Structure 1
Amino acid sequence: MPTANPDATDQENELFAEVDPSGRFGRYEELLGHGAVKMVYRAFDLEEGREVAWNQIRLNKFSGSPFIISKIHSEIELLKNLKNDNIIVMYHFWKDTDHNILNFITEACASGNLREYRKKHRHVSIKALKKWSRQILQGLDFLHTHDPCVIHRDLNCSNIFINGNVGKVKIGDLGLATIVGKSHAAHSVLGTPEYMAPELYEENYTELVDVYSFGMCLIEMATLEIPYSECDSLAKLYKIVTSGKKPQAFNRVSDPELKAFIERCVGRPRARPSAAELLKDPFLSDYDENDLDS
């Protein structure tokens, strides 16, 4: 029975900047994305012969908060077991104690994130936005109805991923998600400021903060503008968001039905619908599930 050439494996290893302790995953130097506390690199799964994403969270950013470090560990362990068509799969995680880095391997989507994909394809129909919206909401509904409830907390177009050849959309970047109990209440502040719901700043919120962030994603998907880009400081952004004022980009959403749908998503917490309720919204009522495969 033929076997793989061991010399080929050695040559492949030379291309890797790093290999995980098990020897299964190799990381390339190529950066796929980065945030305040995380870097994402292109990587390869030697066992399955597929490209993957190698995520690194630099724990020294939380050096003064051992509770947060412990929480990130336990939550990533739980997230590894989340299985849903619209959630990026996590394959493996481990801690690099020498460099104080938490590494985790996730699936890679061929077309990258929705922000970059949308920039490449500037003319997108309302029908396409509905397809993407429904899949994002299905992913959020899965997280929010999971036991225990999972709140993403950092949903934005740079961590929603797409396989463009089939139009499949998946939520990623769950490394900073939080797990909450039956009260569905959380109290720590993490996220991308332009997408954060007002109540998140008040450190008392539920999974509905993800619905608000989804509404901001829709504004970006429709206008190609990052919400609140008119704010030149975090102080101004905080003041406008907590006052309930919508971003200027919202006024440039031309479709009235889409605009009304976004308004529902970004309303005050008590008036804001759940992901499950939004899936039944009239805006999505003419959407056919079979269209996903068309």
Structure 2
Amino acid sequence: MPAENWDGEVEPFAEVDPTGRYGRYNDLLGSGAVKRVYRGFDQEEGIEVAWNQVKLRNFSNDPVLINRLHSEVELLRNLSNKYIIVCYSVWKDDERGNINFITEVCTSGNLRDYRKKHRHVSIKAFKKWSKQVLEGLEYLHTHDPCIIHRDLNCSNIFVNGNIGQVKIGDLGLAAIVGRTHAAHSILGTPEYMAPELYEEDYTEMVDIYSFGMCLLEMVTMEIPYSECDSVAKIYKKVTMGIKPQALSNVREPEVKAFIEKCIAQPRARPSATDLLKDPFFFELNSDEESTLIT
């Protein structure tokens, strides 16, 4: 069933799911190496959704990647946390060679664009966003088995700006890792990747490092290591323990100290659970923190 525009014109769906409930428009919301995300509509609930589509023919020679895509879909279906993007439906379209899954769509896009749009933000708001991301990470890391995101950055943290809520999305590179086993593959966004990720032997603490880099971007509105003009230079600095230049632009001592905890050496990094108990968040309910971070 097509949707009708305000001017009375019918906007046809490009395709509909097997149940007839969800329709996909041609409007592209985003795309990455693994999937394309289109604007969709849930005709039963009357809400807009994100229609995520993976073309399997692009990966026909890579069974490992296809298995990972299947894992992502199954993973999304079974997650339930208010700070993780919800997955409503999943199906495989053998005729078109796609895996499709329907997820919620956040009203204000991703945190990177949202932060650029709203340049003047209080430390209190910054702490609220940070705490929500941490609560999402705590959920993933204490899940049985443990789930490592492995590609957390500000472009896959999404925002419902009308209620000040953020949610972790794009779990396409996530790995379900046994509690006693480290993961062994290199994936992620170089500017946010913990040094041990390059060595292919790591734990969920890589997400804490990436979280710290997200905080750095939120505060400075700079991509970490933007002073580097190649991945090789980023790799060299990260593995040598050289911090990004943006860290020197963080004016608030408590914010800088908190970020430094997150990007410390693996064994020195606090867990998401420990960070949620950090004094950094103690005064969130007070009215004292009105300082702007930019």
Does the pair score TM above 0.5? yes
Shift in alpha-carbon separation, 1:232–1:132, aligned structure 2, 3 A: same
Residue 84 of structure 2 aligns with which residue? Answer: 87
Deviations 1:101-134 (A, max 9, x none): 3221110111111111111100011111100010
Q: Does the aligned pair in 2 maintain the 1:163–1:169 contact within 8 Å?
A: yes
* Partner of residue 161 from structure 2, selected from 159, 164, 170: 164
1:219 aligns with 2:221: no
1:202 deviates by: 1.0
8 Å Cα contact 1:131-1:287 kept in structure 2: yes
Paired residue type of 2:205? L
Tell me which amino acid in the other structure corresponds to 1:144: H
Name the aligned partner's letter for residue 139 of structure 1.
G
**In structure 2, do the counterparts of structure 1 residues 13 and 285 end up closer, same or farther at CA, with 3 Å as the change threshold?**
same
Shift of 1:61: 4.8
Measure the CA separation in 2 of the matches of 1:183 and 1:34.
Answer: 34
User: How far does residue 85 in structure 1 lie from its aligned partner after superposition?
Assistant: 1.0
Decide whether the 8 Å contact of 2:55 with 2:99 is kept in 1.
yes
Give the aligned partner of residue 251 of structure 2. Answer: 254
Alignment partner, residue 182 of structure 1 = 179
Looking at secondary structure, tell me which structure has more helix per residue.
Answer: 1
The Cα of 1:78 is off from its aligned counterpart by 2.8
Distance in 2 between residues matched to 1:196 and 1:175, nearest whole Å? 16
Per the alignment, residue 32 of structure 1 pairs with: 29
Could you give the per-residue CA deviations for residues 21-60 of structure 1, whole angstroms, max 9, x where no partner exists?
Answer: 2222111222222222222221111121111111123444
Q: Distance in 2 between matches of 1:123 and 1:229?
A: 22
Amino acid at match of 1:166: I
Q: Aligned partners of 1:80 and 1:190: how far apart in 2? A: 22
Q: Whole-Å Cα distance in 1 between the matches of residues 234 and 254 of structure 2?
A: 27
Q: Which secondary structure state, in structure 1, belongs to the residue aligned with residue 200 of structure 2?
A: coil
In structure 2, how many angstroms separate the alpha carbons of the residues matched to 1:31 and 1:95? 20
Aligned to 1:3: none
Deviates more, 1:20-29 or 1:220-229: 20-29
- 8 Å CA contact retained: 2:2, 2:12: no
TM superposition score normalised by structure 2? 0.90
How many angstroms apart in 2 are the aligned matches of 1:180 and 1:103?
Answer: 24
The structural deviation recorded for 1:174 is: 1.5
* 3-state secondary structure, aligned to 2:78: coil
Is the alpha carbon distance of 1:260 and 1:43 closer, same or farther for their aligned partners in structure 2, counting shifts above 3 Å? same
- Matches for 1:269-280 after TM superposition, within 5 Å: 269-280=266-277
CA contact (8 A) 1:59 1:102 kept: yes
Question: Cα RMSD (Å) of the superposition?
Answer: 2.3
Structure 1 residue ranges, 4+ long, deviating more than 6 angstroms after superposition: 6-9
Shift of 1:96: 3.0
- CA–CA distance in structure 2, aligned partners of residues 8 and 279 of structure 1: 44
**83-92 or 12-21, which deviates more:** 12-21
1:235–1:101 CA distance, 2 compared to 1 (3 A) = farther
Q: Which deviates further from its counterpart, 137-146 or 55-64?
A: 55-64
Amino acid at match of 1:251: S
Q: Secondary structure at the match of 2:85?
A: coil
Query: Gaps spanning 5+ residues in structure 2: where?
Result: 288-294
Partner of 2:14: 17
Aligned match of 1:128 in 125, 128, 134? 125
The residue correspondences of 1:1-294 to structure 2 (distance < 5 A) are 14-288=11-285
Q: Secondary structure at the match of 2:27?
A: strand
Do the aligned partners of 2:28 and 2:39 also contact (CA within 8 Å) in 1? yes
Unaligned residue ranges in structure 1 (runs of 5+): 1-5
CA distance in 1, matches of 2:246, 2:25: 37
- Kindly state the Cα deviation for residue 196 of structure 1 after the two structures are TM-superposed: 1.0
Measured in 2, the distance between the counterparts of 1:256 and 1:119 equals: 23
Between Structure 1 and Structure 2, how many residues are aligned? 286
TM-score by length of 1: 0.90
2:258–2:280 Cα contact (<8 Å) kept: yes
**CA distances 1:185-243 after superposition (whole Å, capped 9, x unpaired):** 11122211111111111111111111111001001100111111222111111111111
> Structure 2 CA distance, aligned partners of 1:12 and 1:203?
53
